[in-house]
Amino acid sequence: MIRRFLVLLVAVVLLAPVNGFAVQPDEVLDDPLLETRARAISHNLRCLVCQNQSIDDSDAELARDLRLLVRERLVAGDSDTDVINYIVARYGEFVLLRPVFALHTVLLWIAAPVFLLIGLVVVILGARRKRATAAAASDPKLTAEERKALERLAKD
């Protein structure tokens, strides 16, 4: 009884035609060069109804539509940028997995490098200050010879 139910279930769920799976063989373009470009573009476009998946990986209907659209535009002779602009004009910036560099994303793009730079500056200034305090605190009455001897020792 359970077995028959399960078989039925497989028939209903798996065989239903709506359940697509990522890139389909019938989507692939004949021209391998165009297809490579299409795949590269798809990797950077987000499937709008999925959770953080590119349309290249997604099995959603909408992702399939977008993949077909990308290929349609490429076949029509659009450049990669044209295609992306076309998709963004229709679906908004949200589809770009790699955000544009613009005023509202400038903080995003420069966050890590700026952090690194600030860190470097802080470290260098800190080290200098420490050196200065240490030098001031050390005995100033050393002779030139003693100082040289000290330096030699520090080098070892």
Partner 1 sequence: MIIELGHFAFVLAFALALAQTVAGFAFWQRGGAASHFVQQAAIMQFVLVGLAFAALVQAFMVSDFSVRLVYEHSHSIQPTLYKFTSVWGNHEGSMLLFVLTLALFGAGLAAFSRNLPDDLRTLVLSTQGLMVAAFSAFVLFTSNPFWRADPAPMDGTELNPILQDIGLAIHPPLLYLGYVGFSICFSFAVAALISGRIDAAWARWVRPWTLASWAFLTLGIAMGSYWAYYELGWGGWWFWDPVENASFMPWLAGTAMLHSAIVMEKRNALKIWTVFLAIITFSLSLLGTFLVRSGILTSVHSFASDPTRGTVILAMLAAFVGGAFLLFALRASALRSGGLFAPISREGALILNNLFLSAATAGVLVGTLYPLVLEALTGARITVGAPFFDVTFGALMVPLLLLIPFGPFLAWKRSDLVAVTQRLIGAIVATLVVTIIVFALMGFPVSLAPIGLGIGFWVMFGAIAEIADKGAIGRASLAQNWSRLKGLPRSVWSTAIAHFGVGVTVIGIVCATAFQTEIVTSMRQGESVEIAGYTVHYDGERLVEGPNYMAEQGAFRVTTPWNTTRGITSERRVYAVSRMPTTEAGINTYGFTQMYIQFGERFGAEGRVVRLWYKPYVLLIWLGSLIMAGAGFLSLTDRRMRIGAPQSARRKQSEPAQ
Which 98-137 residues touch partner 1, going by CB under 8 A?
Answer: 98-99, 104-105, 107-109, 111-113, 115-116, 119-120, 123, 127, 130-131, 134
Name the token pair of 16: 């239903």
Name the token pair of 142: 């050393």
Shortest Cβ 23–partner 1 spacing (Å): 5
- What CA–CA distance (Å, rounded) separates 56 from 48? 12
Nearer to partner 1, 4 or 141 (CB): 4
- The vertex-23 CA angle with 84 and 7, nearest 5°, equals 145
Nearer to partner 1, 33 or 77 (CB): 33
Is residue 114 exposed (0-12), middle (13-18) or buried (19+ Cβ within 10 Å)?
Answer: exposed
By the rule CB under 8 A, 24 interacts with partner 1: yes
Q: Which of 33, 139, 144, 155 binds partner 1 (CB under 8 A)?
A: 155
* Residue 5 CB neighbour total at 10 angstroms: 8
By the rule CB under 8 A, 23 interacts with partner 1: yes
Name the token pair of 84: 């992306």
Binding letters toward partner 1, positions 33-72, x by CB under 8 A: ----------xx-x----xxxx--x---------------
By the rule CB under 8 A, 144 interacts with partner 1: no
DSSP string, 76-99: TT--HHHHHHHHHHHH-GGGBSS-
Nearer to partner 1, 16 or 144 (CB): 16
